[in-house]
Amino acid sequence: MSHLKNKSRMFWTAARLSAVLALTTAGVAKSQAAEGSGLGTADAPVQIRMIANEAFAKQWQTNMVPEFNKTYPHIKVTIDGVPYAELLPKSVLDLTGAVPTYDIIIADDPWIPQLAQTGALLDLKKDVANWTSPDYDWNDFNSAPLAAGEWKGAQYGVPLRSNLLLMFTNKALYEKAGLPAPTPKLTWAEYFQQAPKLVQDTNGDGKPDAWAIDTYFMRDSLTPTIWQTILNSNGGALLDKDNKPAFNNEAGVKALQTHIDLLKYAPPGGVSHGFNESLQAFRQGQVATMFMWGSVFKGTAVDAATTTLKPEQVGIQVMPVGSKGPGAHRGIWSGAISKKSANQQAAWALLQWLSSKEGEVWHANTLGVFPARKSTLAKAPENAWLVPVYAALQQGYDAAEAGQMWRPRHPKSDAVQQILADETSRAISGEISAAEALNNAARKIERLRL
């Protein structure tokens, strides 16, 4: 496999050399020569390789790649899946090689700065501008998802799979409690007013069997995103302009305390619940609301194999409104290209196609992947279940943009998030107070010298 690939690489280097020679001697138009070789021909296809999250690598390989090959038949794409937890270190390690294995790297929201600081990523707005189609509309992207691929003024990634932390609601449980189904206007005050009524006994055996909320409470680097979003929707920020902690104050304590107070209305054992557990509790119809990544909507509301709920029972909307506005926390998967890749043009052809207006519509309609473009979100989706999702996404992008609701844009982003995870978990499990936890976290984050 790799042997073959090396051979084809050598071949293309040679081809490129001869193209350059041709350019200098005969003055052939450079773009044409490069295009002919960069995208492959029937006799000499180009091989590109991509590293991606195992959760969707196989789906892409079996569905997306054949669709891509309808337009670009001579680019062979291999996608290697890596478990989420190890994807970042594996990508960083690969980028550092003299001849990296991967041409394309798929990066989660906070990773672009960490990958870009290796100096091994292409600036997609500059370095490959020659190969960018004139109708590739950068301005059509919602600015929040596009910004996930940007760092220090360079656009290293394009949004391929967009996601937001949103509020899921079980309308049936709201009805049973005699409460109106929530709307995007729901405030935190109203939310906490209703929460006690949502802890209810639905089968009449005298014991509560449905609760108001389940979400991230356990020690996990994503748990702090819940109170970070609350902080943001109250107009606060995690770090100030100089990357100094700005959360160890009254606003921060209030946000974290709100997160802790949610636990009162969570099912027993909620303190050790995270992504998987809250998802299961919601899918079993045991909790009325869940703050969760929108991408789980299909498996939660539509797919009868994984959920007990029906689409009409499940609502999706932005998180409750704080003093500044509603909340939504950004989580975008961006595609980036290695600077040392020998097949930059083919790699960019794939990313461009998948994030183009047409590609994104196909991606959303066929695979149910969330889009980032305004034009896609404005069109009616083919699947009826995506209609409420699109509405929530558009609202969420606007909210995230207005409140800068994302993890720190810094090469040490994950280090910050780890520290917050520790202290958040200590506060949630009652070991220390919210104020104490935030002071500890601020002290440790300052020591990171961001």
Site for other proteins in 372-401 (CB under 8 A): none
Judged by CB under 8 A, the stretch of 171-179, 180-188, 346-354, 408-416 that binds other proteins is: 408-416
Closest C-alpha to 240, from 249, 115, 426: 249
Count Cβ atoms within 10 A of the Cβ of residue 133 and give its class: 0-12 exposed, 13-18 middle, 19 or more buried.
exposed
Judged by CB under 8 A, the stretch of 20-28, 191-199, 278-286, 354-362 that binds other proteins is: 278-286
In a 3-state reduction of DSSP, which class is residue 319?
A: strand
Q: How many residues contact other proteins, by CB under 8 A?
A: 74
From 184, 274, 311, 381, residue interacting with other proteins (rule: CB under 8 A) = 274
Which residues are CB-contacts of 248 (< 8 A; sequence separation ≥ 6)?
Answer: 435, 438, 439, 441, 442
Of 139 and 276, which has the nearer Cβ to other proteins? Answer: 276
Tell me how many degrees the CA angle 179-183-189 measures, rounded to the nearest 5.
70
Cα 194 from Cα 174, distance rounded (Å): 9
From 149, 245, 267, 359, residue interacting with other proteins (rule: CB under 8 A) = 267
Cα 66 from Cα 178, distance rounded (Å): 50
Which 417-436 positions form the footprint of other proteins (CB under 8 A)?
418, 422, 425-426, 428-429, 431-432
From 19, 46, 77, 82, residue interacting with other proteins (rule: CB under 8 A) = 82
From 13, 18, 31, 96, residue interacting with other proteins (rule: CB under 8 A) = 96
From 277, 329, 351, 376, residue interacting with other proteins (rule: CB under 8 A) = 277
Which 285-314 positions form the footprint of other proteins (CB under 8 A)?
286, 293, 295-296, 298-299, 304-308
332 binds other proteins (CB under 8 A): no
Q: 366 is written with which tokens?
A: 């066929």
**Helices 413-428 & 250-262 angle (0-180, nearest 10):** 60
In a 3-state reduction of DSSP, which class is residue 338?
A: strand
Which 145-204 positions form the footprint of other proteins (CB under 8 A)?
none
Closest C-alpha to 259, from 298, 230, 238: 230
From 1, 26, 29, 380, residue interacting with other proteins (rule: CB under 8 A) = 1
From 67, 123, 140, 209, residue interacting with other proteins (rule: CB under 8 A) = 209
Count Cβ atoms within 10 A of the Cβ of residue 126 and give its class: 0-12 exposed, 13-18 middle, 19 or more buried.
exposed
Of 137 and 431, which has the nearer Cβ to other proteins? Answer: 431
Q: How many residues does the chain have?
A: 450
340 binds other proteins (CB under 8 A): no
Write down the least CB distance from residue 137 to other proteins, Å: 27
In the shown chain, the binding pattern of residues 36 to 65 toward other proteins, with x for contact by CB under 8 A and - for none, equals ---------------x-xxxx-x-------
DSSP code, position 301: I
Of 131 and 216, which has the nearer Cβ to other proteins? Answer: 216
Write down the least CB distance from residue 23 to other proteins, Å: 31
Write down the least CB distance from residue 161 to other proteins, Å: 8
Write down the least CB distance from residue 322 to other proteins, Å: 27
Write down the least CB distance from residue 14 to other proteins, Å: 21
Of 115 and 237, which has the nearer Cβ to other proteins? Answer: 115
Residues 142/87, Cβ–Cβ less than 8 Å:
no
Cα 227 from Cα 222, distance rounded (Å): 10
CA dihedral sign, ordered 98, 99, 101, 104: positive
Residue 242, CA atoms < 13 Å, CB-side half-sphere: 3
Write down the least CB distance from residue 166 to other proteins, Å: 15
From 269, 312, 323, 378, residue interacting with other proteins (rule: CB under 8 A) = 269
From 18, 31, 41, 86, residue interacting with other proteins (rule: CB under 8 A) = 86
Write down the least CB distance from residue 412 to other proteins, Å: 7
Which 211-250 positions form the footprint of other proteins (CB under 8 A)?
218-221
Could you write out the three-class secondary structure of 230-267? HHHHCCCCCECCCCCECCCCHHHHHHHHHHHHHHHHCC
